[in-house]
């Protein structure tokens, strides 16, 4: 059946199967939209105000909400944050344009959730912990619902993804379960399977362009993960890793194993 055609009424409403939307209703809608915009305006200014004024404003506002905010932390315009009260920022961190930061404990409910242990992580589930002088380059995504720690003098390149919580195609708790689980958080929670595990990038480590770190992964001290690599596990101190899945392909000078 074809949808019913509508036509404009002479008073500016829409005539159709359900009658006419009167001008007064339209005015109420416009008024509601304007009120909503006014309520959202202060937060929009905080997030997107450019220049030194924007940096200073974000330092004050985010500093009051974060679990800990070090000195001289720079948030560039467009950074998207959820769960700021679970985040710790060391001194002189630089959070670049359009970075996405998500924190707070896993919402389990009726979902199947398997937890990977990571002894290198010393925080609580849901915490995001950044050491001093950490740089998150533009368009980095950090999902810290399972816990993420990035050490002092570490850098994460543009487009990299750090996930401490991820949907899984099967039940990670019961291997005999053959049900095909859903991949969307909008679905029935009983039909979702998740893996949570802290992700750690230690001091002086590097994450290359568009690299991906999955739950439970660790980049040890001074190790580098190459461009486009996918890490599911641990790479040793001073190593250079690349590929999907990531494997050690070299060593930083003076770091070669004996």
Per-residue model confidence as pLDDT tens for the chain (258 residues): 334 444 443 333 334 444 555 666 888 888 888 888 778 788 999 999 999 999 999 999 999 999 999 999 999 999 999 999 999 999 999 999 999 999 999 999 999 999 999 999 999 999 999 999 999 999 999 999 999 999 999 999 999 999 999 999 988 889 899 988 988 888 899 989 999 999 999 999 999 999 999 999 999 999 999 999 999 999 999 999 999 999 999 999 998 887
Res 42: pLDDT: 87
Q: Give the largest CA-CA distance in the chain.
A: 87
The pLDDT of residue 4 is 41
**Residue 6 pLDDT:** 41
pLDDT reported for residue 8? 40
Q: What order of strands is seen across the sheet that includes strand 193-196?
A: 112-115, 193-196, 165-167
Distance CA 124, CA 82 (A): 17
User: Looking at residue 41, what is its pLDDT?
Assistant: 83
| Topology classification of domain 66-251 | UDP N-Acetylglucosamine Acyltransferase; domain 1 (2.160.10)
| Helix orientation angle between 51-65 and 23-48, rounded to the nearest 10 degrees | 90
Res 7: pLDDT = 41
Confidence (pLDDT) at 234: 97
Say what the pLDDT of residue 32 is: 82
Q: Are 245 and 211 in contact (CB under 8 A)?
A: no
From start to end of 132-214, where are the E strands? Answer: 135-136, 141-143, 148-150, 155-156, 161-163, 165-167, 193-196, 199-201, 206-207, 212-213
Query: What is the helix (H) or strand (E) element at residue 218, kind and residue range?
Result: strand 218-219
pLDDT for res 23: 65
Q: What pLDDT score was predicted for residue 25?
A: 81
Q: State residue 16's pLDDT score.
A: 41
What residues contact 179, with CB distance under 8 A and at least 6 apart? Answer: 170, 171, 191
Q: Please tell me the distance from the alpha carbon of residue 122 to that of residue 113, in angstroms, as a whole number.
A: 21
- The predicted pLDDT at position 22 comes to 60
Burial annotation 56-89 (CB, 10 A radius, 16+ → b, else e): ebbbebbeeebbebbeebbbbbbbebebbebbbb
């Amino acid at each position: 059946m074809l949808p019913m055609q509508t036509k404009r009424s002479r008073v500016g409403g829409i005539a159709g199967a359900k009658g006419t939307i009167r001008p007064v209703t339209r005015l109420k809608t416009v008024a509601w939209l304007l009120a909503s915009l006014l309520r959202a305006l202060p937060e929009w200014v905080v997030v997107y105000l450019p220049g030194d004024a924007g940096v200073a404003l974000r330092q004050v506002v985010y500093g009051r909400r974060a679990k800990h905010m070090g000195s001289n932390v720079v948030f560039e315009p467009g950074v998207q944050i959820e769960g700021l009260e679970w985040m710790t920022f060391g001194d002189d961190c630089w959070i670049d344009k359009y970075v996405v930061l998500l924190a707070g404990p896993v919402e389990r409910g009726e979902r199947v959730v398997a937890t990977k242990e990571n002894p290198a992580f010393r925080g609580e589930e849901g915490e995001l912990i950044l050491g001093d002088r950490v740089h998150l380059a533009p368009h980095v995504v950090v999902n810290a619902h399972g816990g993420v720690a990035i050490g002092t003098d570490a850098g994460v390149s543009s487009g990299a993804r750090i996930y401490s919580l991820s949907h899984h195609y099967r039940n990670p708790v019961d291997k005999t379960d053959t049900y095909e689980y859903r991949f969307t958080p909008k679905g029935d929670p009983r039909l979702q399977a998740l893996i949570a595990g802290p992700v750690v990038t230690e001091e002086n480590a590097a994450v290359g362009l568009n690299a991906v770190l999955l739950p439970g992964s660790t980049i040890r001290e001074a190790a580098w993960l190459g461009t486009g690599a996918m890490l599911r596990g641990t790479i040793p101190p001073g190593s250079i890793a690349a590929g999907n899945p990531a494997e050690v392909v070299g060593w930083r000078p003076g770091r070669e194993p004996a």
